Structure formats: C-alpha cells, structure tokens
Amino acid sequence: MSDIQSLGVVAVIGGTGSEGSGFAMRWAQAGLDVVIGSRRAEKGERVAAELREKLGDVRLRGASNLEAAQMADVVVLSVPYESQETIIESIKPGLAGKVMVTVVAPLLGEKKGRYAPAPGGSAAMEAQAQVGPETRVVAAFQNVSAHHLVDPEHQIDCDVLVCGNKRADRNIAVALAKAAGMRGVHAGALQNAAVSEGLTAVLISINAIYKTRNAGIRITGIEA
C-alpha cells in the first residue's frame, strides 16, 4: 500500500494524549483524513481545533471514541494499557471488518520504565482476543517516543516494528509509519508484539539513564 490516501479515514482512539495527538497531527499534515477520538466528544473536538489552528488546512476533526471508530477505515488505539480493555469494549461496535493498529505497551512504575508482561501474551494479543476474528489487530509504534511527535519539524529517529498475522494488514501500519516520517519494518506475527512492547520499557529506561528523550531503535542489514 504505497498510496496513503487509500488508507481512508484514520481514527486515533485516545487521540487527545501526547502520543495520540502527535500521530494525529503528523498524519493530518501528510494529507490523511483523521478523526481524534476521546471519551468525551467535546474534548476530541477541542484538541482537533487546536491542531487545525497550528497546521492550517488539514482534514482533522474530533468525536467520541465510538463515533471515531465508526467513521474510520483504520483504527489506531493509543491508550494506557490499564484502560485498554474498557476502551476496546466501548468501541467494539465500530471495529468489525477493520484493522486496528495498537500502540499499547504494558508498563509499570511512575515513569513507566519497567515492563509488565501481559497475562494474555501481549497487550496486542489480548486486544485481538477481545475484538474477535472480525477485526484484525496489528501492533506498531510502541518504541516511538511521544516527546517529539508534536513537533512537525522534528525528524523521528526510530524504525517502527510492525507485528501482525497478515502482511496486507501490516502494510497498513507500514504506510502509517511512512506518513509520519518513519520507516515501518515487518516484524512477523502478532505474537512477536510482546518483544516490541517490552522494548518500550527498555527505551524509557535508557532515556532516564542518559538524560535524553530521543532513544529509538534502528534495524540494520535491510534496505533503507
């Protein structure tokens, strides 16, 4: 999928947070039609309006999480792990037949620098079990620092590991990565998401130890 316009409408569930709003901004700036989902529609609309004011003429609007999922062709889940089950249950009526890209990683500690393996194998696998076979879950973007996402001029120095059971579904996340200015790398089946989720805690710890906010990953040995 090289033409990002073929992605259709992209909903960012939890799009009012720093990570979700950063992705929403970058995808809107790249020309995608983006809906920011929030528990309260008015909050989603307010954040969308703030980003439109910053970016200019882009296709970006707000809605409740369920409304955003229903509008979308592709759903991106960007919420804390502890909220995942509740949020998925609330948007499940809008997910059938769609790909849901999850950014979620289960982390512990005030600064989120410890990995807490999900009982279901990974946050992504738990999400797939919850939504059922009518929705295809792909895991991506777990290792991207939220700090610079909201700066449209900043080049994110990080590859995006993409895990999912079908290449065609992973291609959607690869296209989203490209639209956000990053390289998506096919990383195998959804089961492998446990590894990329765990790397999130490693990168957060590296940032803390080295007093930076820029730690990321690069995959060597494949074409740029």
Q: Say how far apart CA 60 and CA 48 lie, in whole Å.
A: 6
| Tens digits of residue pLDDT in 41-61 | 999 999 999 999 999 899 999
Rounded to 5°, angle at Cα 41 from 36 and 43: 75
Q: Select from 1, 202, 201 the least CA-distant residue to 101.
A: 1
Looking at residue 83, which CATH number applies to its domain?
Answer: 3.40.50.720
pLDDT < 50 positions in the chain: 1-2
Q: Is residue 217 part of a domain?
A: no
Give the model's pLDDT for residue 3: 63
Beta bridge partners of 137: 100
Its pTM stands at: 0.95
Domain residue limits at 47: 4-210
Q: Quote the number of domains for the chain.
A: 1
Per-residue tokens: 71 = 């509008």
Please state, as a whole number, how many other Cβ atoms lie within 10 Å of the Cβ of residue 82. 10
Helix axes 123-131, 81-91, angle to 10 degrees: 20
Three-state secondary-structure class, residue 208: helix
Evaluated on CA atoms 78, 79, 80, 82, the torsion sign reads: negative
Q: Is residue 222 part of a domain?
A: no
Per-residue tokens: 100 = 């849901």
Q: Is residue 89 part of a domain?
A: yes
Give the model's pLDDT for residue 1: 43
Give the model's pLDDT for residue 2: 46
Q: Is residue 121 part of a domain?
A: yes
Q: Say how far apart CA 194 and CA 35 lie, in whole Å.
A: 28
